[in-house]
Amino acid sequence: MKIAMLGSGFIARFYADSLIGHRRIDKLHAVYSRNIEKARTFATDYGLPVYSDSLEEVVNNPEVNVVVISLPNDLHLAAVEACAKAGKHVLCTKPLGRTAAEAKQMLDMVEKAGIMGGYLEDLCYTPKFSKSLASVKGGSLGRILWAKSREAHPGPHSNWFWNKEQSGGGAIVDLGCHCIEIARNYIGKDVRPVEVMCWAATQVHPIDAEDNAIGMVKYANGAIGQFEVSWCFRGGMDLRDEVMGTEGTIWINNFLRTGFDMFSTGKEGGYVAEKAESNTGWLFPVGDEVNELGYNHMFTDMFEAIEQNRDPFETFYDGYVVNAIIDAAYASAKSGLWEPVEIDDWRGRTDDNHGAKFAEFDEQYYLIKEEILPHGERKLILKDKKTGEVIVRDL
Amino acid sequence: MKIAMLGSGFIARFYADSLIGHRRIDKLHAVYSRNIEKARTFATDYGLPVYSDSLEEVVNNPEVNVVVISLPNDLHLAAVEACAKAGKHVLCTKPLGRTAAEAKQMLDMVEKAGIMGGYLEDLCYTPKFSKSLASVKGGSLGRILWAKSREAHPGPHSNWFWNKEQSGGGAIVDLGCHCIEIARNYIGKDVRPVEVMCWAATQVHPIDAEDNAIGMVKYANGAIGQFEVSWCFRGGMDLRDEVMGTEGTIWINNFLRTGFDMFSTGKEGGYVAEKAESNTGWLFPVGDEVNELGYNHMFTDMFEAIEQNRDPFETFYDGYVVNAIIDAAYASAKSGLWEPVEIDDWRGRTDDNHGAKFAEFDEQYYLIKEEILPHGERKLILKDKKTGEVIVRDL
Amino acid sequence: MKIAMLGSGFIARFYADSLIGHRRIDKLHAVYSRNIEKARTFATDYGLPVYSDSLEEVVNNPEVNVVVISLPNDLHLAAVEACAKAGKHVLCTKPLGRTAAEAKQMLDMVEKAGIMGGYLEDLCYTPKFSKSLASVKGGSLGRILWAKSREAHPGPHSNWFWNKEQSGGGAIVDLGCHCIEIARNYIGKDVRPVEVMCWAATQVHPIDAEDNAIGMVKYANGAIGQFEVSWCFRGGMDLRDEVMGTEGTIWINNFLRTGFDMFSTGKEGGYVAEKAESNTGWLFPVGDEVNELGYNHMFTDMFEAIEQNRDPFETFYDGYVVNAIIDAAYASAKSGLWEPVEIDDWRGRTDDNHGAKFAEFDEQYYLIKEEILPHGERKLILKDKKTGEVIVRDL
Amino acid sequence: MKIAMLGSGFIARFYADSLIGHRRIDKLHAVYSRNIEKARTFATDYGLPVYSDSLEEVVNNPEVNVVVISLPNDLHLAAVEACAKAGKHVLCTKPLGRTAAEAKQMLDMVEKAGIMGGYLEDLCYTPKFSKSLASVKGGSLGRILWAKSREAHPGPHSNWFWNKEQSGGGAIVDLGCHCIEIARNYIGKDVRPVEVMCWAATQVHPIDAEDNAIGMVKYANGAIGQFEVSWCFRGGMDLRDEVMGTEGTIWINNFLRTGFDMFSTGKEGGYVAEKAESNTGWLFPVGDEVNELGYNHMFTDMFEAIEQNRDPFETFYDGYVVNAIIDAAYASAKSGLWEPVEIDDWRGRTDDNHGAKFAEFDEQYYLIKEEILPHGERKLILKDKKTGEVIVRDL
């Protein structure tokens, strides 16, 4: 497949690295940047035959099959529109829109045009995430009760992120989109997110948007998703997930503690580990960042989906649902209330299976807990189904 | 000092272990239990001359200087009353009361009687906590933005915990009291907790109280405390704290990852590590549990406080503030609203210093961020104080 | 490039997974197995047009450009001979030979035939290894003093490993080949390995070869390489490296602690994590095993080397040096003496720069250490160059 | 008990901290230092009534029951002699002697005088060590095959350590004494250490003694002890143990990764974590160093042993055995040969139970391994007891 890249900044280069790495059959063919110089540099660095500062020219290039959007958030809609018009498959970086309304427009465009809309949510493609999700789906954790994802670092590198108009918000829209979709996958994409409570504040930076936020997302089956996002974290990039099920637990650390520790006095200069705040003292580099962050696996899925004429693992619809949750989070941060998640077009389950299933002991009792005491004796803590009385039975 | 123990259960034994360990000059002298058999066993196990099923008898024993309350939550008030009447210093296990109203009564009693009321919040005395708090107070983390504490395990061992009437609630009152006071210490005990948002649910156990909850506590200076508590966690006892400041980060793991890993096939039987859910596979024991959980250091502070006629590090007033926050958490879990923390008798700072201090760049600009790019170039992201415009300046 | 696979067992499948993953331009074309059934199954599973139980047929298939040897150790020599005769580039799994003599024959064959001999030492291509080696080469660790690599697990899966005749030995030849080459890379491939001391024992399994061994390799510049290998380890696959330099430290954990922790009661069945000894309790899966073990990056380097007509990062010459060190290790395990490493054809540096460079303080003194005392005072510990006297100077 | 301290340096203060902490019944009474000013300062800091620069005066003080030796290695012998003459129990810091001959003299002195000779090997009293040793003794790890202990840091703080005459050597005698006794405990104190192979070098510091060494100690039952010691390590204090048994594994990390991580930009100054090489970046403090390093538990055992008229856990005899192993290590480092451990007075088991017990499968076969294949099939790898043939049997 021949690919056009829209954008030539930090994320475009990350995408290009994963598209070129490991001798892929898919080729980057053209690049668009608003700044022709940047487009030229990008084309030179990655060996692309075509570059331009005209988005239409790039999208409509006859050799291009697929378009990758790595532009600032406020330019996604127009870019998707151009792809839809040209009938080219489109892969859009996260978040899909600045709002659910924008995302819904993009979703409608690709569905109407009959092209594939792939949502480039790389963190739902990391090797650790994929394997852990398989475990969850396979039942290793039982019923999922809580899924938390945390992303925090000292703030974004590109200036447009700091402009609320362009980005659509602060840490929530920038980092929360990852965390929300991670939790949603663990809980189940077919389970409806119902309402959101969010705290957000501008604690450190002189900006209009939030630089620190915590949110809780209630799902129709009683599970809870949680996101913790910050542009105020010191120490590098903190990227961790936790899942709690009735039968198990998952802890994932994607960055700062991955089994790679380095100490350097820095006396002899030397190599700087990326995203670290320093190149001396204890450092925690990541082996192959592009792989650990899921880019390789994401593009593999996207291109196979196109060839196999199936949906990719992360679609524009997923991006739209995430935007709807983000909208509710912003509303809640403002109102201080649990705010409903407005999804016009819910495609998942509609039976709300709220109830926790209590463990039966016998006809009369529920089992609260079986306890092993320090000296090895065992006891049962039971609850009478009718009277509610809690009793203890030694074994 | 001669000490009376009220209660003879799990926590009483933990306390006794730390009072006896390391050849202390302070001696356990008497024990009370509602069940005379349990009192006798306890007295035998720890070599106490006096045991009784009369609380008054034990409290009023003339040799007793200090009373330790390790009774179920619903019996704290009456026990404190007996101590106040007898004029004996009293150390009470956590939570102080089931409600702030109960806690306030206890606080008033000890203050009126002129005795010391020590709040046995052991997790604010762990070696890791003490050293990290010293770092925070010393400025290593700058201004504290967020402090989170998590305590989760598969549920309590004693049956009275499962009875809401006796315990005063579920995981929030049982585990949240720890987490709340940990975060409050990091943020500053003199900073007023203002309001609380809490989600709570009964997800797994057939009980009336919550077995899973997440709460956020807003402080007057704009910092946020967070607690995550659960009786549904699988894998042992999860006890972790995280603190985020403008200049640094703290991560503490008190139990499951402390640098002690063991794998056993279990084929040859062998020793069971406490609190683990199993004695085969990968296990994560804690070296000296009594020490790691802060009991030694807590009692050392309490007895020295009595001798030096000073307040201990954790007082009945602290216990009362914690109960007030818990009350607000329960109110919020019910109403879905941010609920105010009602403290009749606030003794801390009253100047609400909400504002984040933005980093000045020069007269015209705030500094948003200084960025080091992959190839070593540096740039400044600045914000115009008047126009709000974000600009980039290369260095 | 079109690739022939010789062998269809465990390692052949690992290779095939990495050759097929991520939409590579290089294609597996043919497979040889001594067992035609296994060859057929392999061809079906990976979509290969050609399979055979004739090695010559596969190697000489006109479409095949490159041959990958994933056969038992005793069959490497004959397979390399066939490739040399056919003039096909050959990539051989580790260890290259059972002995240095065998490895030398293979090296001579490929050099004479003018084909590329790639040594498939995947652990020298893992993302963590590559990045840490770049740091070492960049000077972050100063002068390397010691490099240790450890590989231990409960024993190999294929039966031929347990037959000393076929494999050439036990844990040393199976696992030590990795560890030796890892340490050699950190210390410098151009630094001559001089002599080896090795302890080896058969501690658990009823076999002729060793199932546990520790070795030390002295290098001409005074650095020391260390390997720890075992088929007796319980708890999964232990794969760790440590490097000590004058200015820094590296710790790498490739398997059991990579930031992915899972606990499962196993009650609901579920997914089994590979290489774990169990699927309940605390488990430590690896995200993308093929990537973490370096297979992707290894084949990328190999094919690019062929195209660019350059040496790959790991060559048959490297394999030969490793075999020479293994020979010395076996000799030492038998004799109890430091045994010389016999390399006929040393291609690295011949100046033996043994000496540690001591830190100068001034004309009269060396600096032993600058010490910061608990209260912040600083002192210098110095040694008189002539008299050897150690003195202390307060600062 | 009233205690005299001989010495007032770094280790004397560590001992004093643990003797005073946690309101002990045992009291420090007198201190001796060769430098009267240092003695006075120590007495003031710890509230001691007696100080002196006469060793005899302090040892013979009539109130003193027990003497703690925390003097440089070359002064241990004379101090023990004084205690023996005075009939005072004596606790001596590690290593006991500079050589086994010295240690033997001390052992003979205390045994002849009928006083207790306690060997202050604190690392055999750490909470993690004690609990893991209990697991090993309880059978959780099966038969112990290998026990490794590593201690490494950037070099000692006191200048006399750097003088080979005073200290008796370098990193081996300073740090190796800990590592050797740790491994010996895991393998079994009653199992005779037979011979030692050791590599040692002076890699960095301008000293006569070694600053880096690795040693292997063969035990009569076929187990192997390993020590890794260094004064060249960068990054703080590396203190780790590993044990491998037929049924399990233990990994202990005492310092740099104990579940306490801190990052600080250092901008606001702040608290310096001990033994760290810096107070900015990622730091890994230890909560309560005195406790984590075993001092509290060690003195508790020592004083209880005196009261109960029993041997402490670590005796002068243990110190002597350790010195004998160190002597063999130095001999081996010089000769390059496995050197015998010379113990005049072996008090442990004399039956050498070398043999590994192979796992029986049936009358004809040994079981090499039971293997679970990726798709769930199971196979047995067996060895014919007579013919030695390895066969595979599918299950």
Q: State the best of D262, D282, D283, D284 to mutate against chain A, taking most chain A CBs within 10 Å.
A: D282
- Is it the case that residue B272 has pLDDT exceeding 60? no
Residues B146 and B226 in one domain: yes
Residues C113 and C168 in one domain: no
Task: Specify the higher pLDDT residue, D155 or A109.
Answer: A109
> Does some domain include residue B19?
yes
Residues D155 and D187 in one domain: yes
The answer to whether the CB atoms of D244 and C234 lie below 8 A apart is: yes
DSSP string over D132-187 = HHHHHHTTTT-SEEEEEEEEE-S--SSGGGG-HHHHSSSHIIIIIHHHHHHHHHHH
Residue C135: what pLDDT?
93
pLDDT > 70: percent of chain C = 95
Residue A280 has its nearest CB partner, among D263, D281, D283, at D281
pLDDT > 90: percent of chain B = 74
For residue D187, name the pLDDT band (cuts at 50, 70, 90).
very high
| Closest chain C C-alpha to A182 CA, distance in angstroms | 15
The span from the CA of D231 to the CA of D253, in Å, is: 18
Structure tokens at B260: 């002690």
The span from the CA of A33 to the CA of A36, in Å, is: 6
Angle at A192 between CA A189 and CA A195, to 5 degrees: 125
- Asked if B163 contacts B73 with a C-beta cutoff of 8 angstroms, the reply is no
Residue D157 has its nearest CB partner, among C218, C371, C388, at C371
The span from the CA of C228 to the CA of C210, in Å, is: 12
The answer to whether the CB atoms of C282 and B283 lie below 8 A apart is: yes
> Does some domain include residue D316?
yes
> Does some domain include residue A302?
no
- For residues D44-52, average pLDDT: 95
- For residues D274-291, average pLDDT: 81
The answer to whether the CB atoms of D140 and B270 lie below 8 A apart is: yes
Q: State the best of B135, B148, B187, B203 to mutate against chain A, taking most chain A CBs within 10 Å.
A: B203
The span from the CA of A142 to the CA of C265, in Å, is: 9
The answer to whether the CB atoms of B163 and A390 lie below 8 A apart is: yes
- Is it the case that residue B4 has pLDDT exceeding 90? yes
| Closest chain A C-alpha to D287 CA, distance in angstroms | 19
Residues D315 and D386 in one domain: no
Subunits with 3+ Cβ pairs within 8 Å of B are A, C, D
């989760």: which residue's tokens?
B152
Residue A275: what pLDDT?
53
Within 10 Å of residue A15's Cβ, how many Cβ atoms? 25
Kindly identify which residue of chain A lies nearest to residue D233, measuring between CA atoms.
Answer: A263
The span from the CA of A83 to the CA of A109, in Å, is: 9
- Is it the case that residue C276 has pLDDT exceeding 70? no
The answer to whether the CB atoms of A281 and D284 lie below 8 A apart is: no
Supply the mean pLDDT for chain B: 92
Q: Which of C122, C147, C178 is the last residue of a domain?
A: C122
Residue A269: what pLDDT?
60
Task: Specify the higher pLDDT residue, D289 or A315.
Answer: A315
Residue C58: what pLDDT?
97
- Is it the case that residue C371 has pLDDT exceeding 60? yes
For residue B356, name the pLDDT band (cuts at 50, 70, 90).
low
For residue D17, name the pLDDT band (cuts at 50, 70, 90).
confident
Residues A58 and A192 in one domain: no
> Does some domain include residue C351?
no
- Is it the case that residue C388 has pLDDT exceeding 60? yes
The span from the CA of D279 to the CA of A365, in Å, is: 57
Residue D392: what pLDDT?
84
The answer to whether the CB atoms of A267 and C247 lie below 8 A apart is: yes
> Does some domain include residue B358?
no
| Phi, psi at D374, each rounded to 5° | -50, -35
- For residues C207-216, average pLDDT: 95
Whole-prediction pTM: 0.94
Residue C206 has its nearest CB partner, among D248, D358, D392, at D358
Residues A113 and A132 in one domain: no
Kindly identify which residue of chain B lies nearest to residue C266, measuring between CA atoms.
Answer: B234
Contacts of D252 in chain B (CB under 8 A): 259-261
The answer to whether the CB atoms of D234 and C245 lie below 8 A apart is: yes
The answer to whether the CB atoms of C265 and B277 lie below 8 A apart is: yes
Residues C268 and C370 in one domain: no
Q: Which residues contact A287 (CB under 8 A, 6 or more apart)?
A: A258, A260, C126, C127, C128, C129, C130, C131, C292
For residue B130, name the pLDDT band (cuts at 50, 70, 90).
very high
> Does some domain include residue C381?
yes
Q: Which residues contact C362 (CB under 8 A, 6 or more apart)?
A: none
ipTM field: 0.92
Of the listed ranges A283-287, C174-178, C185-189, D125-129, the one predicted with least confidence: A283-287
> Does some domain include residue A349?
no
Contacts of D227 in chain C (CB under 8 A): none
Of A11, A97, A25, nearest in space to A65 by CA: A25
Q: State the best of C255, C282, C283, C284 to mutate against chain B, taking most chain B CBs within 10 Å.
A: C282
For residue D390, name the pLDDT band (cuts at 50, 70, 90).
confident
For residue C14, name the pLDDT band (cuts at 50, 70, 90).
confident
The span from the CA of A137 to the CA of A190, in Å, is: 13
- Is it the case that residue D42 has pLDDT exceeding 90? yes
Of the listed ranges A220-234, C94-108, D224-238, D347-361, the one predicted with least confidence: D347-361
pLDDT tens per residue, range B288-311: 888 999 999 999 999 999 999 999
Supply the mean pLDDT for chain C: 92
Q: Which residues contact B376 (CB under 8 A, 6 or more apart)?
A: none
CA A335 to chain centre: 25
- Domain at C207, CATH number: 3.30.360.10
The span from the CA of A69 to the CA of A150, in Å, is: 25
- For residues B113-121, average pLDDT: 97
Q: State the best of C14, C199, C205, C253 to mutate against chain D, taking most chain D CBs within 10 Å.
A: C205
The answer to whether the CB atoms of A212 and B146 lie below 8 A apart is: yes
pLDDT tens per residue, range B198-244: 999 999 998 989 999 999 999 999 999 999 999 999 999 999 999 99
Residues C50 and C153 in one domain: no
Residue A380: what pLDDT?
87
The answer to whether the CB atoms of D258 and B254 lie below 8 A apart is: no
Kindly identify which residue of chain A lies nearest to residue B278, measuring between CA atoms.
Answer: A372
- Report the half-sphere exposure of B373 (CA within 13 A, side-chain side): 14
The span from the CA of B30 to the CA of B28, in Å, is: 6
Q: Which of C98, C122, C146 is the last residue of a domain?
A: C122
Helix (H) / strand (E) containing C134:
helix C127-137
C-alpha dist (Å) from residue C370 to C303, C339, C380, D11, D284? 50, 39, 5, 19, 21
The C-alpha torsion from D89 through D90 and D91 to D96, rounded to 10°, is -140
- Is it the case that residue C273 has pLDDT exceeding 80? no
- Asked if C29 contacts C48 with a C-beta cutoff of 8 angstroms, the reply is yes
Residue B269: what pLDDT?
60
The answer to whether the CB atoms of C281 and B284 lie below 8 A apart is: no
Residue A342: what pLDDT?
97
Of the listed ranges A352-356, C256-260, C312-316, the one predicted with least confidence: A352-356
Task: Specify the higher pLDDT residue, C347 or D278.
Answer: C347
For residue C374, name the pLDDT band (cuts at 50, 70, 90).
low
Residues B39 and B149 in one domain: no
For residue B266, name the pLDDT band (cuts at 50, 70, 90).
confident
pLDDT tens per residue, range D222-246: 999 999 999 999 999 999 999 999 9
Residue B220: what pLDDT?
95
Residue A19: what pLDDT?
86
Buried b (16+ CB within 10 A) or exposed e, B191-214: bbbbbbbbbbbbbbbbbebbbbbb
Residues C111 and C195 in one domain: no
Q: Which residues contact B53 (CB under 8 A, 6 or more apart)?
A: B32, B33, B34, B35, B36, B39
- Is it the case that residue B376 has pLDDT exceeding 70? no
Q: Which domain holds residue A70?
A: 2-122
The answer to whether the CB atoms of A135 and C271 lie below 8 A apart is: yes
> Does some domain include residue D358?
no
Residue B139 has its nearest CB partner, among D23, D251, D270, at D270
DSSP summary character for residue C310: S
pLDDT tens per residue, range D105-134: 999 999 999 999 999 999 999 999 999 999
Q: Which of A82, A102, A122 is the last residue of a domain?
A: A122
Residues B118 and B193 in one domain: no
Residue D374: what pLDDT?
60
- For residues B265-283, average pLDDT: 69
Domain count, chain B: 3
Contacts of D159 in chain C (CB under 8 A): 381, 390-392
pLDDT > 70: percent of chain D = 95
Which of A297-311, C273-287, D267-281, D361-375 has the largest mean confidence? A297-311
Residue C373: what pLDDT?
67
- Within chain A, which residues score under 70 in pLDDT? 268-277, 352-356, 373-376
Contacts of B366 in chain A (CB under 8 A): 206
Residues A195 and A87 in one domain: no
- Is it the case that residue B72 has pLDDT exceeding 90? yes
The span from the CA of B220 to the CA of B147, in Å, is: 14
The span from the CA of B228 to the CA of B249, in Å, is: 19
The answer to whether the CB atoms of A249 and C267 lie below 8 A apart is: no
Task: Specify the higher pLDDT residue, D369 or C302.
Answer: C302
